Amino acid sequence: MTEYNKKHRDEWTKRFLAEVGKEDLLEAAWNTPEGITLKPLYTKEDLENIAHQDTWPGAFPYLRGSKASMYVGRPWTIRQYSGFSTAEESNAFYRKNLIAGQTGLSVAFDLPTHRGYDSDHERVIGDVGKAGGAIDSVEDMKSLFEGIPLDEISVSMTMNGAVLPILAMYVVAAEEQNTKRHHLRGTLQNDILKEFMVRNTYIYPPGPSMRIVSDIIRFTSGEMPRFNPISISGYHMQEAGATVVQELAYTLADGLEYIRAALAIGLHIDDFAPRLSFFFGIGMNFFMEIAKLRAARQLWSQLVSREFQAKDRRSLMLRTHCQTSGVSLASKDPYNNIVRTTIEALAGVLGGTQSLHTNSFDEALGLPTEFASQIARNTQLIMREEMGLTKIVDPLGGSYYVEALTHSIVTEAQKLISEIEDIGGMTNAVANGLPKLRIEEAAAQRQARIDQKDESIVGVNCFALPDEEVVDIRHIDNQEVRRLQIEKLMLVRATRNESSCNSSLVALENSAGKDDGRLVEYAIDAARARATVGEISQRLENVFGRYRAEIRSISGVYGMMSSNHAEFDELRQSVALLAAKFGRQPRLLVAKLGQDGHDRGAKVVATAFADLGFDVDIGALFQTPEEVARQAIENDVHIIGVSSQVAGHMTLIPELMDALTYSGCGHVLVALGGVIPKQDHQHMYDSGVSVIFDPGTSILNSARKVISLLSGLDGS
């Protein structure tokens, strides 16, 4: 540093400290959840020892963009992740959106489809058509894309567990639309490793699941050269509570594992790596998210270049889809979510994403309405058409802060990737639960920061409105959708050639047992013969088995973060008084109903209540109401806390209350938390629910209400 610069730095420091009332710059530093210390000012001196600053877009290590021209040559693809009710209703929604300016489709499937069940299965009564469109057969897939030219429109399908039947039905639907498979463009998520970490829509154990991933990569590399066989996803990690660095590191570590799996079946790196794609969430830390995408491109190119010696430059380019954060959406003062989504969308574009989905403001309340979806889509159109973003490449390149932040993220992510590699890669890490544990700890820490108001959310824990406005939401008649799907299933089964269908399913099952690398081909044959999603999945399950996760919980994290908080201490004392009254600790069962695997909220509640002194049981995922009632009775709990994410509560909660009453345990209290629209509250109370907690409710506030409810019990 020159004497001139030193002089001006010292003068700035003196003025800054005087203006903010601090004596030391260290006091003004910001320590992020990622473990990165950020200063209040960055200068060119902060970049002196950072490599790759003199780089160009489209050139290794792709820090400034995967392509030289970026949006100047081609704007990002505007997508809306959508699907609900029946295939026919989803199709109508897609066609309207394409006319209105959407440039690619992102298909949401309902949870029964994800989990490999047909709509008539007894375990999915409350889930059909709720969190996405119901797909049971090729006929549904054909209806989903009716009138949509699949050789022209890029289709992204979020599917992991039942990925084989869904890919097969997509190929057959295209063929029967007279579209050759080698003309199909789009992306299959097909990222099963992250399902075992966070989202939980798996079907088979990790080993067979990885085999399916490899077979799909092999098949698409030869038969569908314009189609991305996998979208390696960090989005769901962020939704589950991962920090930016965790999301980045674990996503890239997943990518390395998929490359090794493909190489193990004889593929060459340059045969498939150019078609690998990524999927990241974009949260509210604006510059951190921009730097994350830049760091992702740099790290991926270096990792692939160093370990796999790729020759094709496209193998080194990280291409990504991004989606604005769902977990940042608040149910309170929901119109604020429009602003949040806009900020996040801008971060994704300034970071250099290739395609983008913007969430609707009402998604913390229920499925998005057409009104809200239009605002979300138009947010991207305004960014593309009015902001000048398509006229310059990497406008933040060279920013002292952004470049230094990018370097810090790279450094911290490398540490986590090395940790995963040291234990044998991500498959081993998933098996021993390390990434899941780290993410759950981060989620509990963040909830504690929010509850203590160390992290502000406008309209939730600060500047809250005295009265909440009721917002119209989309309502899906789950029972009617299920009735329609069952009718269609019956028709398919009645009109197909049963002998041909059964033969194709036997061939698929035999292939699963032989490991001959032809699972996709046999699945396509079965789909063409009108085998259903459930039938195809069951044949694979006959060989692979159905995976059941071990339920683990963390403890001490929320309590440690709240150790100096007066309200936390007061509530612990109240729990101790309850324990004295009951002669044992008050006992809580935290449960999920139906096929919803999103368990962030359930896990955070469980660890926080345990730290407050409750005796907490955590139910297995994917339970029926009868199974939850049985566990509550066997464990002699005082209260059941049900976490609901995907609107199955209207069907499943009344069934739970009936099961408790039938078993003579109607005295057990039920608390309901999650995405519960205001319009549904009275029905839930009429069903017997004692209290409802909306998204964003402070753990401490919910604990206070639960303690108050339990205080009215006699403790027997």
435-441 mean pLDDT: 94
644-669 mean pLDDT: 88
In 3-state terms, what secondary structure has residue 80?
strand
In 3-state terms, what secondary structure has residue 344?
helix
Helix axes 625-634, 649-662, angle to 10 degrees: 40
- Res 182: pLDDT: 95
Q: How far is CA 662 from the centre of its chain?
A: 37
In 3-state terms, what secondary structure has residue 627?
helix
- Res 716: pLDDT: 55
466-488 mean pLDDT: 88
Q: Which residues pair with 673 in a beta bridge?
A: 643, 693
**Which of 674, 664, 616 lies closest to 642 in space, CA to CA?**
674
Write the CB contacts of 692 (distance below 8 Å, at least 6 apart in sequence). 671, 672, 673, 676, 681, 684, 685
Q: Place 633 in a pLDDT band, splitting at 50, 70 and 90.
A: very high
CB atoms within 10 A of CB 285: 19
- Res 278: pLDDT: 96
- Res 142: pLDDT: 97
Q: How far is CA 153 from CA 75, 150, 176, in A?
A: 15, 5, 16
Write the CB contacts of 307 (distance below 8 Å, at least 6 apart in sequence). 256
Whether the predicted pLDDT of 313 surpasses 70: yes
Whether the predicted pLDDT of 5 surpasses 90: no
526-553 mean pLDDT: 94
Look-up of token digits 């060989």: 543
State the sign of the Cα–Cα–Cα–Cα dihedral 33, 35, 41, 45.
Answer: negative
- Res 167: pLDDT: 98
Whether the predicted pLDDT of 96 surpasses 80: yes
The span from the CA of 194 to the CA of 524, in Å, is 26
Q: Place 324 in a pLDDT band, splitting at 50, 70 and 90.
A: very high
The span from the CA of 20 to the CA of 15, in Å, is 9
Whether the predicted pLDDT of 639 surpasses 90: yes
HEC letters along 319-343: CEEEEECCCCCCCCCCCHHHHHHHH
DSSP state at residue 367: B
Residues 239-259: pLDDT tens digits? Answer: 999 999 999 999 999 999 999
- Res 623: pLDDT: 93
Q: Place 715 in a pLDDT band, splitting at 50, 70 and 90.
A: low
DSSP state at residue 468: P
Q: Place 647 in a pLDDT band, splitting at 50, 70 and 90.
A: low
Helix axes 286-308, 336-351, angle to 10 degrees: 40
User: By percentage, how much of the chain surpasses pLDDT 70?
Assistant: 99
Burial track 384-418 (b if 16+ CB lie within 10 A, e otherwise): beeeebbeebbebbebebbbbbbbbbbebbbebbe
Q: Place 610 in a pLDDT band, splitting at 50, 70 and 90.
A: very high
Residue count (the chain): 716
Q: Are 249 and 242 in contact (CB under 8 A)?
A: no
Whether the predicted pLDDT of 567 surpasses 60: yes
Q: Place 692 in a pLDDT band, splitting at 50, 70 and 90.
A: very high
Please identify every residue annotated as catalytic. 81, 235-236, 592, 596, 598
- Res 52: pLDDT: 67
Average pLDDT score, the chain: 93
pTM of the entire structure?
0.94
Q: Place 666 in a pLDDT band, splitting at 50, 70 and 90.
A: confident
- Res 694: pLDDT: 86
- Res 53: pLDDT: 67
- Res 103: pLDDT: 85
- Res 100: pLDDT: 87
Strand order in the sheet with 669-674: 615-618, 587-592, 639-644, 669-674, 691-693
Which of the residue ranges 113-117, 214-218, 475-479 would you say has the lowest mean pLDDT? 475-479
- Res 337: pLDDT: 96
Q: Place 1 in a pLDDT band, splitting at 50, 70 and 90.
A: low
68-86 mean pLDDT: 91
Whether the predicted pLDDT of 377 surpasses 60: yes
The span from the CA of 72 to the CA of 390, in Å, is 5
